[in-house]
Amino acid sequence: MKLVFATGNKNKMREIREIMSGLKLDVLSMKEAGIDIDIAEDADSFEGNALIKARAVFDFIREKKIFGDEQVIVLADDSGLEIDALGGEPGVYSARYMGEDTPYSVKNAEIIRRLKRKKGAERGARFRCVIAAILPDGNEIIADGAFEGLIAEEPAGENGFGYDPILYLPEYGRTAAQIPPEEKNRISHRGKALKSMREKLSRSSISGTFENP
Ligand code: IMP
């Protein structure tokens, strides 16, 4: 059985291959599956956007008979940063927040400025990731994961990307950008959502077709 992950991101592909290893599933990116479509992610929730992407890719594979009669699972994810003191912003708008082309150094400095008067738990924030799966029979499964932290007083760290330098993780005493990438993948919102999805797939009606005995 094929599993297509609706992403072009190499890091995400590496993570999903690691987490789905040991299953009888041929894991492919959209590009590897020969799918090149533009999908408008215009929902107002992570779940909504993940479902839009997964359904679009699933329908495309069906219509174009990309894998003939072979069964396919399609997965798609959506993630972002939620800041309690900003009513959950930037949330689904994380990539577009303050403008798509605005450098993260500017976005991160502005977020810290907006939270200037907030102390301790008032600085609560998290990365959230929702993954949607469409099974060969059209059934849908949702899994999610969160990476809880606080908005740092100052950006710190060179690893990672995006908002990593300003999410301080009290459990680790560091920001997400100060954690080595492999370690972050193991404990991150996306890592947790992927693991949860693997467990849900293993409990689904079709698990017999890809689970090794
Ligand atoms: P995507 O849905 O994975 O493409 O993530 C959307 C946006 O959320 C990214 O462009 C980042 O702004 C933000 N984001 C998601 N995950 C992370 C992360 O692990 N670190 C930093 N920023 C993230």
Q: Determine the atom of ligand 1 nearest the C-alpha atom of 184.
A: 19
Q: Determine the atom of ligand 1 nearest the C-alpha atom of 104.
A: 12
* Beta strand residue intervals within 18-161, DSSP E: 26-29, 72-83, 124-134, 140-151
- Give 119-130 as a DSSP string: -GGGGEEEEEEE
Cα(67) to ligand 1 centroid in Å equals 31
Give domain limits for the chain: 2-201
- Give 132-194 as a DSSP string: EEE-TTS-EEEEEEEEEEEE-SS---SSS-TTGGGEEETTTTEETTSS-HHHHHHHSHHHHHH
**78 in active site:** yes
Can you give the pLDDT of all 213 residues of the chain as single tens digits?
999 999 989 888 988 998 998 899 999 999 999 999 999 999 999 999 999 999 999 999 999 999 999 999 999 999 999 999 999 999 999 999 999 999 999 999 999 999 999 999 999 999 999 999 999 999 999 999 999 999 999 999 999 999 999 999 999 999 999 999 889 988 999 999 999 999 999 999 888 888 887
- Give the predicted TM-score (pTM) of the model: 0.95
Give CA–CA dist 65/72, Å, rounded. Answer: 11
List ligand 1's pocket residues with C-beta within 6 A.
Answer: 78-81, 94-95, 127, 160-164, 176, 188
Give CA–CA dist 12/31, Å, rounded. Answer: 13
**Contact predicate 140/184, CB 8 Å:** no
> Which residue of 14, 81, 107 sits with most ligand 1 atoms within 8 Å of its CB, as the best mutation to test the pocket?
81
Which entry of 36, 44, 59, 78 is annotated as an active-site residue? 78
Q: Which of 84, 185, 78, 204 is nearest to 134 (CA)?
A: 204
Q: Determine the atom of ligand 1 nearest the C-alpha atom of 97.
A: 12
Looking at this protein, which amino acid is placed at residue 168?
Y
CATH 3.90.950.10 fits 2-201, yes or no: yes
